[in-house]
Structure 1
């Protein structure tokens, strides 16, 4: 299949023990431990005070990661296309709505219902940044990050424009703990560009392959501590970015298709080294 090139400009990651990309990068490189005590998700300052108080954790996470990645990229948010992805959406609000429907159905909150909709974070981000593009919310269950990344890569290549990708998930609560496993809080974000700029931090050559690869192993204690979150499938990509290594990753999209990424620093022209699991999963191709 065809191979395409995309450049990574902005990188962000936010979790209570890794509040920001600088902290996460050091932890993924084995240079620093998780932050103790864990940090609280910063309030989305771009929201008006009344909305800020009502904003759920998913919105705060998504906006925090998006702002950090955009700031690092040097792009203007109003000019970006955006893809937001989440495996589960806002589980605490969904649990609250279900409980309210069972016990006091006449007291269902319209605001909470609005925040339960899967595209609520990307909608709020678009409005707050006066972004008028047709932005996208993606869900692919356990493959949500890979599906969102593929959507962002294709959009970046097809439209020849920079694209923001943001992924986020929170912990399951209440009865949902038994049906929808997810632990902790995690948000990640990337700004992708079809052109290399002075903000470029990595260059990817990517393609689609038939067949399903195994999920890449997590290599650091810091990443493994986040492995129970619904967005944890993003962590191998961010570990690779943190280590600034030439490596190939295979991200399963389904039982029949895999997203293959050869990543490197922008000034590194040496051949990429495949992880053994990647080569085995793709039959050594």
Structure 2
């Protein structure tokens, strides 16, 4: 994609959750000053779900809903009005490993609940039901280019008529035999509400040849072993006032992001 055909969007809201960094304020403080909360929760607890559903929801669903709702609150936009894109490299690896192991050893013992949560769009389904959203939702997986392709999809929806789009990205830890093939550690998720115009950070995205990426920033190092760490160059830039980020977009392709920080972003950076 050449520069004249770049896609653009304004970030109206951000949600974030990583092990030890349970929200975007904590992530920004860590990226700028290395400060971590003293007592961070070990698991997200999305209030969008009823208490019994909250307890049963797998980690992938919990983190996706937590950051999605946080981004909507940050943007001041009601979630039921937003089309959404859910991007995950692997879905829920723990459930996938359980399914494979149980099918190989005792197929009739498959848990209906875990089977229900094994599909790649499980988090998107929980979101649309919990938020009462009837707008279109898309689930994307593209290995280590998943976040870049999810961002492109969301920005394309903006460019073709949607006034605002919710992008949610997340991945979980791998376990069991599956973990020897596909490695991922911890729980990581982030969400963006993208709009056409506004006072938040403005992002201009262009595809280019080449696969060389820049050295990771503080957030990238903190969660480098999670499969969705591929998104963290953008969030490091947003947290520290950086003006560019480079994301892997596929074999020998990169998504170059130019970031212009608006008044709101500058104020947040200055005042925390």
* TM-score, with length taken from structure 1: 0.87
Residue in 2 aligned with 1:172?
174
Residue in 2 aligned with 1:240?
237
Residue in 1 aligned with 2:17?
14
Equivalent of residue 34 in structure 1, options 22, 36, 39: 36
Work out the CA distance in 2 between the residues paired with 1:117 and 1:160.
27
- Deviations along 1:181-202, one digit per CA (max 9) or x if unpaired, are 1011100111100121xxx320
Work out the CA distance in 1 between the residues paired with 2:112 and 2:126.
16
Instruction: Note the C-alpha offset of 1:109.
Output: 1.2
Once superposed, what is the RMSD of the aligned Cα atoms?
A: 1.7
Instruction: Note the C-alpha offset of 1:35.
Output: 3.7
Work out the CA distance in 2 between the residues paired with 1:257 and 1:142.
11
Q: Displaced runs of 4+ in structure 1, greater than 4 A?
A: none
1:73-112 superposed matches below 5 A: 73-112=75-114
Q: Could you say what secondary structure the match of 1:154 adopts?
A: helix
Residue in 2 aligned with 1:255?
251
Residue in 2 aligned with 1:148?
150
Work out the CA distance in 2 between the residues paired with 1:169 and 1:3.
28
- Deviations along 1:79-135, one digit per CA (max 9) or x if unpaired, are 111001011110111111122222221111121111010000011101111111221
Work out the CA distance in 2 between the residues paired with 1:267 and 1:236.
21
* Count of residues in correspondence between the two structures: 261
Instruction: Note the C-alpha offset of 1:143.
Output: 1.0
* TM-score, with length taken from structure 2: 0.91
Find out whether 1:208 has 2:204 as its counterpart: no
Work out the CA distance in 1 between the residues paired with 2:223 and 2:179.
17
Contact 1:212–1:253 (Cα < 8 Å) also in 2: no
Instruction: Note the C-alpha offset of 1:45.
Output: 2.3
Contact 2:165–2:195 (Cα < 8 Å) also in 1: yes
Equivalent of residue 231 in structure 1, options 228, 233, 237: 228
Q: Could you say what secondary structure the match of 1:75 adopts?
A: coil
Contact 1:213–1:250 (Cα < 8 Å) also in 2: no
Residue in 2 aligned with 1:280?
none
- Deviations along 1:9-50, one digit per CA (max 9) or x if unpaired, are 111210121110000001111x13334555222322222233
